[in-house]
């Protein structure tokens, strides 16, 4: 079901020409800076993968992938990717990338089950990145260090936009705040996960919520996460499970928290088997990706995705992701946006 939030007295700070120039500036600067900061090389990514190999990202485990038959493969079916969470780890192995180095790619996806709105589109574009790590790196401290370095690139990007368009004032705090989803639940036990996100992100401006995917103290999850890429069950140095999380920033235009990145230290063999059992998906152990991981032929890694359109939307102070990317929207949404000075592409 679609949802649209209309900011009061909204007026874009940039016209469509300025917006397109701004999009290019943000994308060029951010990916170059991210590559240098984390020592990532760019690689070419697939738009679709073969079904039944366990390579596609399952997101929350319920979203349906767009599929089509391949004539020259006897109508074997391919799936348009949701993201490249697992494919990237295979590529780390294929390229023989050593610990401390990694890769990134421009990922384009179609998510047909998405609930459309200001932040959600059928079309998803993000920088998918993955970096080889050692066993000793599988700690909360290492995760926080990588998050802080990614966030520093976001802060620098915001300043580059300010230099280009002085009417767009920087808003991000210099440092990001870390909090575990269980501690956040304990602070606001009577609130929903989304309400908690809004409260904590408005308070600090930018937060990284850790431990996403596993059950919290009340038995509920902060948010869903597939069992076969992020490690959300290993006990970290803070005594709470979860070596993953989400980067959120406060969006002053929409007056709500806005997720810019989902990331984490990836499952090792033990975490994979444990999380598959917890979710009742042991049958995945027979799939190509999972067998490679269980056999020990895939490197340990950390990785994530950073939304390109969302990043541009935030830095260029837009009210709707449709002001950044070309997609399909319900006709009533287009009409309402036009009436409220929100020019969808």
- The pLDDT score that the predictor gives to residue 60 is 62
Angle between helices 288-295 and 87-95 (to 10 degrees): 50
What is the token pair recorded at 23?
A: 């999009």
Q: What does the mean pLDDT of the chain come to? A: 94
The active-site residue out of 89, 111, 225, 310 is: 111
**Contact residues for 177 (Cβ-Cβ < 8 A; gap 6+):** 200, 204, 205, 206, 207, 208
304 neighbors 247 (Cβ within 8 angstroms): no
Q: Kindly indicate the confidence band of residue 55, based on its pLDDT and cuts at 50, 70 and 90.
A: confident
- The pLDDT score that the predictor gives to residue 62 is 65
* pLDDT reading at 88 higher than 70: yes
DSSP codes of every residue in 51-83: TTSS-S--TTS-PPPPEEEEGGGTTEEEEE-S-
Print burial letters for 215-235: b (CB count within 10 Å at least 16), e (below 16): ebeeeebbbebbbbbbbbbbe
- The pLDDT score that the predictor gives to residue 64 is 83
Of the candidates 200, 64, 43, the residue with the CA atom closest to the CA atom of residue 122: 64
Share of the chain above pLDDT 90, in %: 87
| 268 φψ region: left (φ > 0), alpha (ψ -120 to 50), beta (else) | beta
Q: Is 18 exposed, middle or buried (0-12, 13-18, 19+ CB in 10 A)?
A: middle
Q: pTM above the 0.85 mark?
A: yes
The residues spanned by each domain of the chain are 16-339
Let me know if 72 is a catalytic residue.
Answer: no
- One CATH from 3.30.360.10, 3.40.50.720, 3.40.190.10, 3.30.930.10 for 16-339: 3.30.930.10
Q: Kindly indicate the confidence band of residue 83, based on its pLDDT and cuts at 50, 70 and 90.
A: confident
pLDDT in tens, 260-314: 999 999 999 999 999 999 999 999 999 999 999 999 999 999 999 999 999 999 9
Let me know if 57 is a catalytic residue.
Answer: yes
- The pLDDT score that the predictor gives to residue 238 is 81
The active-site residue out of 121, 126, 301, 325 is: 126
Q: Kindly indicate the confidence band of residue 59, based on its pLDDT and cuts at 50, 70 and 90.
A: low
Sheet holding 206-210, edge to edge: 40-42, 102-110, 123-132, 301-307, 256-265, 244-251, 206-210, 177-180
The active-site residue out of 31, 35, 57, 58 is: 57
**Contact residues for 278 (Cβ-Cβ < 8 A; gap 6+):** 214, 227, 233
Let me know if 156 is a catalytic residue.
Answer: no
* pLDDT reading at 54 higher than 90: no
Let me know if 259 is a catalytic residue.
Answer: yes
pLDDT in tens, 136-171: 999 999 999 999 999 999 999 999 999 999 999 999
pLDDT in tens, 192-250: 999 999 999 999 999 999 999 999 999 999 998 989 999 999 998 788 999 999 999 99
DSSP conformational letter for 242: -
φ, ψ for residue 38 (rounded to 5)?
A: -105, 0
Q: Kindly indicate the confidence band of residue 321, based on its pLDDT and cuts at 50, 70 and 90.
A: very high
- The pLDDT score that the predictor gives to residue 1 is 56
The active-site residue out of 152, 259, 285, 292 is: 259
DSSP conformational letter for 341: T
Q: Kindly indicate the confidence band of residue 92, based on its pLDDT and cuts at 50, 70 and 90.
A: very high
* pLDDT reading at 82 higher than 90: no
Can you tell me the distance from the alpha carbon of 15 to that of 341, in angstroms, rounded to the nearest whole number?
11
φ, ψ for residue 200 (rounded to 5)?
A: -70, -35
The active-site residue out of 125, 158, 230, 246 is: 246
Average of pLDDT values for 162-189? 97
* pLDDT reading at 66 higher than 90: no
Q: Which residues pair with 104 in a beta bridge?
A: 42, 129
The active-site residue out of 31, 35, 83, 262 is: 262
């Amino acid at each position: 079901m679609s949802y649209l939030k209309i900011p009061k007295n909204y007026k874009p700070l940039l016209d469509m020409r300025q917006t397109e120039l701004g999009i290019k500036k943000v994308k060029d600067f951010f990916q170059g800076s991210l590559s240098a900061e984390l020592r990532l090389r760019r690689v070419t990514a697939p738009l679709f993968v073969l079904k039944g190999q366990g390579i596609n990202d399952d997101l929350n485990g319920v979203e349906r992938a767009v599929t089509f038959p391949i004539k020259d493969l006897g109508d074997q079916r391919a799936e348009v990717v949701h993201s490249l969470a697992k494919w990237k780890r295979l590529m780390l192995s294929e390229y023989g990338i050593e610990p401390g180095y990694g890769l990134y790619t421009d990922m384009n996806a179609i998510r047909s089950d998405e609930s459309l709105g200001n932040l959600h589109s059928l079309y998803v574009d993000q920088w998918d990145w993955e970096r080889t790590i050692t066993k000793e790196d599988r700690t909360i401290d290492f995760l926080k260090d990588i998050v802080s370095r990614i966030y520093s690139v976001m802060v620098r990007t915001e300043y580059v936009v300010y230099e280009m368009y002085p009417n767009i004032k920087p808003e991000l705090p210099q440092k990001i705040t870390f909090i575990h989803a269980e501690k956040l639940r304990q602070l606001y036990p009577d609130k929903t996960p989304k309400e908690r996100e809004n409260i904590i992100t408005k308070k600090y401006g930018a937060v990284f919520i850790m431990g996403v995917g596993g059950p919290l103290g009340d038995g509920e999850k902060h948010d869903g996460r597939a069992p076969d890429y992020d490690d959300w069950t290993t006990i970290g140095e803070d005594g709470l499970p979860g070596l993953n999380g989400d980067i959120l920033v406060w969006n002053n235009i929409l007056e709500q928290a806005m997720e810019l990145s989902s990331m984490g230290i990836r499952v090792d063999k033990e975490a994979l088997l444990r999380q598959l059992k917890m979710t009742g998906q042991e049958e995945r152990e027979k799939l190509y990706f999972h067998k490679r991981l269980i056999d020990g032929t895939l490197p340990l890694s950390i990785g994530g995705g950073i939304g390109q359109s969302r990043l541009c939307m935030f830095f260029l102070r837009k009210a709707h992701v449709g002001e950044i990317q070309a997609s399909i929207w319900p006709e009533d949404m287009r009409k309402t946006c036009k009436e409220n000075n929100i020019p969808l592409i």
